[in-house]
Amino acid sequence: MTKKEAEIRLEKLKKTIEKYRYSYHVEDISLIPDEALDSLKKELVDIETEFPELITPDSPSQRVAGIARDGFKKVKHEIPQWSSNDAFSEDDARDFDARVRRFYTSQTDHDIVPEYVCEHKIDGMHIVLTYEKGILKTAATRGDGMFGEDVTANIKMIESVPLKLNQPISCIVEGEIYMTKSQFAKINELQKKNGLEVFANPRNIVAGTIRQLDSSIVAERKLSTFIYDISRIDGEFPLSQEKELKLLASLGFRVNKDYSVAKNIGEAIEFWKLWRDKKDSEDYFFDGIMLKVNDRKIQETLGYTGKAPRFVVALKFPAEQVTTVVEDIVMQVGRTGVVTPVAHLKPVFVYGSTVSRATLHNEDEIKRLDLRIGDTVILQKAGDVIPDIVKVLTEMRTGKEKVFHMPTTCPECDTKLVKKEVGTKTGEESAAFYCSNARCPAKDRRTLYYFTSKAALDIEHLGPKNLDALLDAGLISSRADIFTLKKGDLLELPRFGEKSADNLLESIEKKRHIGLDRFIVCLSIPEVGEETARDLAAHFGNFENFQNAQQQALESIDGVGPRVSRSIINWFADKHNQKVVKDLLDQIKVESVQKKKVNQKFSGKIFVLTGTMPNLSRDEAKQQILNLGGKVASSVSKNTDYVIAGENPGSKFDDAQKLEIKIMDEKEFLELVK
């Protein structure tokens, strides 16, 4: 990035961030997710770090968010209120620790290994409480850091805020007002019952509640607090953050007990990892861990920058939504011939991994998003879900963005692209484009990728890279060729040695006997997925019956309509596909389905799996559900009966709560299976 490009990007970032920050902190409206706003702020700081001469006094990096609103008496803070700097990864945390040690050494000529107090970063609203001789005098919002709003009358309605301390001392303390998850669910249920719009997150309710002119509403909404900092106190100040928390608790404040003292940054990171994986077990929302240097004297030596203390950092949990830039849109040919637009992104770290691509599904989706090459977008990823672009930030446009035009020919073989009919009688067209060349090399390659994948044959050690090596060397050209490979063939390739060749051949040999449902999946028949393959296998019992089935017999199966039956019949009518089947049956024995009476206690029930369970893999849980007659869906809907949630469940957990669907953990699921 040139300096001129940086100036243009910074101006766009500053205006966009201020727009969303004003909406969030002043109007109590979240127009974009917190994680996406954090991502914009991080990009701004990164550019300013590279071009420090471009930092201006009006930059969002130089001020504390929020201003005091009209309608409330303004209060000047006796002690300025600071924001904290953010960290987003283990490396960021170690960089913070290095800065602490480096700055301390520069001031004292002494080396230190600082202890850190690790506290939950509560997702709520900052509050400043002033006590005189043990009696609550004022309560104020953060505001702009110098002036806040006097919300004393409303704060007195929160029962966790003491009106009188256990000791008659004067002090100023800071903390967070929040709403529990259970209370959040109750309020949204009431909103729905009254035909009102549900709240997006509890932080918005908290901010709106604290600014109510009617204090009885505050009492009804049952807010709570965690107090974590003493700004000023009569007498001797606690010598550490740990002692400060203990003093606050002894005075009668509600202090979060789930804090820990880490002897070094390594232990602090372990604490962050622990709560990253179990954060959903608490009845409140928190989005990271605050790392605070424990020793008060070290804190005083480190001091403050223009906007934040040098001795504190907020180590955020992996974000599910971030912002990035679409650098290009390219076409990708799938195994069924569908040609999908894929966004090539400026690499960005989201939910535990670096993402550089996202599918755009089809031309209609690009039009719906109004997406252009060069746009700044919000990217979403939850757990193992494929990254998805959910919004374009059109206010970031400079005029250099390019409108994308769908190509008319296949990018691999230059054959004309077509749209298929998907309706049974209406002639309705698919939203997707297809390559009409039955022998498109890209389709064949993708088919092989799928054939060896977990969903189909599940051959270990034979992923896309090894398949590419075999294809490029001319050692295979079809699915059946995989079973004819010899050790000498593999040893000719740069990726293989004696051990790796033996491992692959052993994995291939294990797949010479497979179940009928797996074999049907391996054929890659359009419209036939894993669930349909299981239904077909259970109905027909053996491959010969399935291969010769007529339309009426196919459509007698629940879930198989005219579109699917037509696809199956047309597939088997193709001479090339007939050869594919013959060649595979020469190498593989397909086991028939033995029909037997089974416990169908889950018959008609739809399950959704999310998160990581301690003992069961997702495939194992899925198989248990299928064995008992249930179905497994990939997303939550009003038709879902149960959601089985492990650690890091992501957005499916939230969807289930909103729809009031039964959520169970692994233990409850296993009890249900019994």
Catalytic residues: 121
For residue 511, give the DSSP letter. Answer: G
Cα–Cα nearest to 69, from 126, 14, 28, 125? 28
> 């004309």: which residue's tokens?
416
Is 271:262 a contact under the CB 8 Å cutoff? yes
Is 170:133 a contact under the CB 8 Å cutoff? yes
As given in the structure block, the two tokens for residue 397 are 């446009």
CA distance 217 to 187: 12
Which amino acid does the sequence have at 526?
A: P
Distances (CA, A) of 151 to 71, 222, 634: 11, 16, 46
Is 295:239 a contact under the CB 8 Å cutoff? yes
141: phi then psi, degrees, rounded to nearest 5: -75, 170
Return the ∠ at Cα 650 (arms to 646 and 654), rounded to 5°.
100
Return the ∠ at Cα 582 (arms to 534 and 505), rounded to 5°.
80
Is 508:485 a contact under the CB 8 Å cutoff? yes
Is 115:263 a contact under the CB 8 Å cutoff? yes
CA distance 572 to 544: 12
Question: Is 257 buried (19+), middle (13-18) or exposed (0-12) by CB count in 10 A?
Answer: exposed
As given in the structure block, the two tokens for residue 495 are 């990726």
Number of H helices, E strands in the chain: 24, 26
CA distance 35 to 316: 9
664-669 long-range CB contacts below 8 Å, 24 or more apart?
Answer: 665/613, 666/613, 666/614, 666/615, 666/616, 666/621, 669/616, 669/621, 669/642, 669/644
What single string gives the DSSP state of each residue in 282-302? SSS-EEEEEEEE-BHHHHHHH
Question: In angstroms, what is the C-alpha Rg of the chain?
Answer: 30
349: phi then psi, degrees, rounded to nearest 5: -90, 120
> 């497994």: which residue's tokens?
632
Which amino acid does the sequence have at 68?
A: A
CA distance 523 to 584: 9
CA distance 311 to 96: 9
Is 97:143 a contact under the CB 8 Å cutoff? no
134: phi then psi, degrees, rounded to nearest 5: 85, 0
Is 63:145 a contact under the CB 8 Å cutoff? yes
91: phi then psi, degrees, rounded to nearest 5: -65, -40
Is 413:437 a contact under the CB 8 Å cutoff? yes
616-624 long-range CB contacts below 8 Å, 24 or more apart?
Answer: 616/666, 616/669, 616/670, 619/454, 621/666, 621/669, 624/673
Question: By three-state DSSP, how is residue 580 classified?
Answer: helix
Q: HSE, CB side, 13 Å, CA atoms: give it for residue 628.
A: 16
CA distance 168 to 146: 27
